Each structure stands twice: as structure tokens, then as C-alpha cells.
Amino acid sequence: MADKIGVYFDQSALGIIDGEELAAHVSKKFGGACPAVKVFPVLAAESARAEIRADIEENGLNGVLLCGSSPRVDWDIYNFEGVIVDRVNLREQCVMSFRDADGSVPEAGDDAPELLMLMAKDYVNMGIFKMQKTGIPTPPEFETVKTILVVGGGWAGLTAAKQAADYGYDVIVVEKEAELGGRAKGMLKTVPLEYPYTDAHATGIENKIAAVTENSKIKVITGARLEMLEGLPGQYTATVKGEQYSVGAVVLAAGWVPQNTKVLGPLGYGSVPNVVTAAEFEKMAKEGTLSAKRVAFILNTSLVDGGDIYAPVCAEEAEPAAKKEGEEEAPKYVHKDLESVRHLPISNAISSVVALKQANYVCDTFEDGQAFILYDSMVVQGIHERYYKAAQNRLGIMMSKADIKSVTAEGDGVLVSAANTLMGGDVDIPVDMVVLPTGIVPATAKDPIMNFVYRQGPNFPDLELFEGYADSNYICFPYETRRTGVYAAGCVRQPMMLDAAEEDAIGATLKAIQCIESANRGVAVHPRSGDLSYPVFNFVRCTQCKRCTEECPFGALDDDEKGTPLPNYSRCRRCGTCMGACPERVISFDNYNVDQIGTMIREVYVPDNMETGGPRVIILACENDAYPALDMAAIRGKKWSPYVRIIPVRCLGSVNAIWVADAMSKGIDGVMMLGCKYGDDYQCHFVKGSEICNRRKDNIAETLNRLGVEPDRVEQYEVAIDEYDKVPDMIEEFMNMIFEKGPNPFKGY
């Protein structure tokens, strides 16, 4: 903990605030605890930093508090070895955003209003007390295994294996089939992946297979499954064919399986001869057995007179598997057949371009071949627009928007009846064959595949929006699964074509390498990349309530034989959700803990009389979205109430109920919690943090009711990083509610 702190002010960031007045306040209030207090014209200047280094040497400082711009600015230039460094945001979230009680905004040259000085002093006090509760983390020594396990030997898996080997890492490839190549090996051609992007061509999968099998750094195990993965990033043990292998990280490239064709029944599949799936059609083309000269490719998601069907879709709905001994809840990894499944718009981009490719097969095979592509939406992304235009100009290929009325047998062929076509009116199209796209279902939806030895079960946790897909944060961290150290690539992550799968595999491999090298230094991989901290447990007070193990989004905690939390440090992403969950406050981080934030809250000056001194509101702002949104709002000229005090938190999942209790007992009139969006379209960097906080808020409301405090004095708001313009209105709305309610009943006690 820092007990000799140098406090430095950046006058260039303080505007109308007199830095010398703040410096005098610090010297008077903290005395010997802050032996060096100075004001610099420009804090970021090299001369200022040199003077700070001299102060560290002369005064034996073990803490440096920089008061000026946001910690998100110039974060990389204030690095004083062996010294705790922290920032106080007096520019964006104090001076720039300040609006006086009467609504006026001071101008350059004015004296700083009293409320502005009170705010600045509060923030400085909070920063010093925070530093006094902050230590320098010392991560455990950790030796990592520099071997990457690749699960899946298809296009993405082979790309990942070669990429990792090229970077100097040993690789183990596990493929469940007898041969490498995956589904790409069964393709005649791929949609264009190279200039001029107008013609399909060979996949080149044989070259990828050769590059892997001939590489001495890559061990290939075929006809095998990953039977078990236990341990933690950097020190995993993988069991394959009864043998154990030490690996540091995993690239999951297990691919996809076809959607159950039962959902294609309304379009004649299974009842009308010569109605086939796109995969079956591809096999005919590959084997040279294609005999149909007139082929209809249907890309529709509904029948005019029938029930909904869904073309390429996400995973089929899960049903609980059998509960295993020692598991509190059965994992959801066994899936059943469905009448209908959820439609993924991104899948249409796959089926549309595949239909173009296969329509060309017909014309390539037969001089008089005819292909009809009937769609309700044709989705062609990016450079593939060239392929679409080439198909439009090819004789023999006809494309039309259409509503499919029926698909019936007629003689030796098939009759497709369609309405609302571009040809006008209803049409009947006799063809030799109908081709239907099948959904891309990630392999993880059918099978646990990873077989984790985790308290939380052998598979990935279910995702509400993208069931079965091995995804962590679809928007922000595409390769990272909810099991740290395992990175998804290819169609196990989302429907995609070979070009995207190749890019995916490279990205996932680089993340796996980053994970190994980060674990080797004891630092977090993501999203708090480089964070040296880790959860510290006071097991003497632990009641084995298991809230921390159950709420951790990443499976970082197992149980020991007594039921006490067993940390797996390199699985941890440092979000602090376990800290927020613990009712006994036994979990902390050296540089982020319950006492630290609680002390900051208690140091806010709260007037006894709300009528004369105004209310006080604490804003707990998620550092990932809400805090930068507040910064951006201020930079763009937005203002808000002078009665709020903003405290950044790692994630709303880390918010402990004791902070709200501290605020209420202090006389704080309200607490706003600003965090990421949660629910189906979640944007929380730690997946479940905002959602968990929202659930805890219900418990807080019950406590406040018992104390006679209105529960709506504590409210949670969802904020995306690009919604900076909405944040001031949220604050205004909350403050209006506080003024209407009046003072906290505990004020003055």
C-alpha cells in the first residue's frame, strides 16, 4: 500500500481551477503522507516526468498520483518502476463536464465556482485514499508450455497449425476423422477467393494438408477425440487416445455439422425424389455423378401456404444432458431434433454464394444446363458482388425473388410452384432436381468436444443468442471463448466461408500465442491485457457459499476437496465478478478491492442539508464502455450535474452490495450504475457482468426497503461506448428523480 505519495497537478488540464489551491488543500489535509505536492504547467512534458523521478528518489515515494486528464489519455508515458501510479480525472469528468447548480457554465477567465472546487477536492481526496488502499500485485511464478493444441483438422484447423508452427510453437492436431481436410476436402470448388473474384476454383486443401503433415513441429493425431482437458492456460493437460499431452493453449476449429434435415420437410426433402441438400449436391459434383440438367436452388425461409422453415441457421435447441455426479447442474450439450430453429441472418450470406457456385456447376457440366435460383433474400457480401454479377451475366443461370408455394413430384422430376416472382405472377418451374441449403450447426452444439474438467461442466456455457456457438463476446472479442486459453476459429464460431475461416484461424492462433506468453509473465490476456493482479482469498473467513464459483463467467474457480474455492489464476480475466459476489468480502485484488472503493465513497463530502448544499450521487461506471462514454460526452461539450461523483469499476459484476450500503449510510442520495448492455445482444466485455449486477440489484432493493430507503435510489443503466450523447440525459433523469424524492433518510446521521 502507498504511504508516501507524490501528488502532481497538470495546470493545462485544470482550466479555470487554480492548481495551487488544490495543492495547498492536499498539503493541509494529508501532510506527511504526501511529501511531494507540485503543480506543473504541462504534466506530460518530459521535464515534469524527470522532476517526478527525482522526487521519487529524494522522498522515497511509493505512490504517484497524477491529477489532470483522463487515465485513458497518455496512459503509456507515466511509468515509474516500483511505484504505484494512478490518475485523477479532473479534466474530462470535472472541468469540461461541469455545469453549475443554476445551469450556468463558467467561461475561461472566470473564477472557479465553489461547486467546481468542491468536486475537484473530492476527486483528489478519493484518489489519495484509493492509493493508500492499493498495492503492487505480485503474480505467482508460472512456467508455461509452448505447445498449441488444435482441435479439428479441416481448413481452419490446418491453417492454425501451420501458422503456429511458423511462429516457432510446437503443435498437436487432433482430428476425429481418419483423414485431414474436413468438409473442404469434400468440395469440388470454392467460391472465388482470389482476383478477379469471378470464377470458382479448387480449394487448395491438399496443399494445406501437405504443409501440416510434412512439418516437423506438428504432430497429427487422426481418428481421435479430445477426451479430456484439465488444468489452466499455460499448463493444460490434454488426453487423446488415452495419452496425456502438455499444452499451453487451444485453437478450437472443430467445424460444423449439417442441420437436421427435418426442418426442410415443407420443401419436399425426404418425401419428394430428387430434392437434395446443398451438401449432397456438392458430393455429386465432386464425384462426377451429376445428371440433372435443370436444377432449382431455393433460398427461402417460408412457404406461402405452409409453416416457417429456416435455411442456414444456428444451432438446434438444447435439452439438458444427464446430470453427472458432483455437478450441481447438468450441462446443456445434448441437442434434440426440432420442427423449427432460430434463423441467423449471417447464414444467408453463405447459402447465397454457395447457390451461385453450384448453379455454375450445372452450366459447367452441361452445355444446355439451366439453373434457377429462387430466393426471398439474396445476400452477397463484399468482394463476392463480382461473383454475383458474373452469374447474372451467364447464360443458363436465372435468379428471381420468389415465394415458394409448393415443391411436388412430377413424373421423373420436380415441380416448383412460386408466386410474386420477378417474372410476374405465379409460375410453375419443372426441374430435374431441387437443392436446399442446410444449416451450419457448430460441432459444439452436438457434442461437448472440449470435455473440460471444470466445476462448471465439460462444455462451454450456453449463449442465449447464439446457442451452440463457441463464442465469448461476439462484438468485441471474436475468437475468445468463455474458457480462457481456448480460441475458436471457423464455423464453430459462426457461419463463414473459407476466406473468412482462414482469417479466423490466424487470429485465433495469435490469441493462443498471446495467452501462452501472457501466462508466462503472470499477466491477464484479455480484456485487461497486461494486468498483473489476480484474486486473493482470505479463506479463513470463507463460508463455502459457492457464489464466486457459480457467478464467475469464465470457470476460473473450481472447488477443493472441502468445497472451498480453488483458484486457477491464468483462467482469470480480472473482472472482479467473484469479488462482487462474495457476501463475506473475502476476495480482493491488490490494486482493486472492496475496502478501496468503499473508502472512496466514504470520502465524498456530503452536505447535511440537501436544500442548501445539494444532493450527492455516486456513479459506478464500467471502465470498458460507460467510463469512456462519459469522457467522450465531456469532450463533445456535454455537461452534467455538479452533484455527481464518478468512480470507475472494472465491471458492474464486481460491484459489491457493501458499496451501496456504505453510500446510503454516508447520506449519499443515490447510486447510478452505468454498465454494458446485457441480454441477448450483450456487449459486456466480461459476458455476464452487467446481467449479474442487475440480478444483485433486486437483493439490494429488498435491503433498502427494510431500511426504509426507496430502492429506486439505486438504479442500473445500460450504456454502449458509442452512446456518449445519451449519458448526460441519463444523469439528468436520475438527478430529477433524486430532487423529487428529497434527501436520503440517513443524511446527517
Q: Is-contact 301 343, C-beta < 8 A? A: yes
CATH class of 147-258+441-521: alpha beta
Q: How far apart are CA 712 and CA 691, in angstroms?
A: 18
pLDDT at residue 129 above 90?
A: yes
Q: What is the mean pLDDT of residues 388-395?
A: 96
The one-character DSSP state at 461 is: P
Q: Residue 221 forms beta bridges with which residues?
A: 174
Question: Would you list the domain boundaries of the chain?
Answer: 1-136, 147-258+441-521, 274-437, 536-588, 592-749
Query: For residue 453, with 0-12 CB atoms within 10 Å meaning exposed, 13-18 middle and 19 or more buried, which class applies?
Result: middle
- Cis omega (within 30 of 0) on the bond before 527? yes
Q: What is the mean pLDDT of residues 54-58?
A: 97
Q: What angle do CA 411, 416, 419 make, to 5 degrees?
A: 150
pLDDT attached to residue 335? 30
What is the fold of 536-588? Alpha-Beta Plaits (3.30.70)
Q: How far apart are CA 36 and CA 478, in angstroms?
A: 46
Q: How far apart are CA 616 and CA 599, in angstroms?
A: 16
pLDDT attached to residue 51? 97
**Strand 249-252 relative to strand 617-622, pairing:** unpaired
pLDDT tens-digit readout, 194-238: 999 999 999 999 999 999 999 999 999 999 999 999 999 999 999
The length of the chain is: 749
pLDDT at residue 345 above 70?
A: no
Domains 147-258+441-521 and 536-588 share a fold: no
Please provide the CATH number assigned to the domain covering 274-437: 3.50.50.60
What is the fold of 592-749? Rossmann fold (3.40.50)
| Of the candidate ranges 38-42, 250-254, 463-467, 732-736, the one whose mean pLDDT is the lowest | 463-467
φ, ψ dihedrals at 444, nearest 5°: -70, -15
Q: How far apart are CA 50 and CA 37, in angstroms?
A: 15
- In a 3-state reduction of DSSP, which class is residue 577? helix
pLDDT at residue 309 above 90?
A: no
Cell 500465442, located at residue: 513
- In a 3-state reduction of DSSP, which class is residue 539? helix
Please provide the CATH number assigned to the domain covering 1-136: 3.40.50
Q: How far apart are CA 205 and CA 227, in angstroms?
A: 27
pLDDT at residue 330 above 50?
A: no
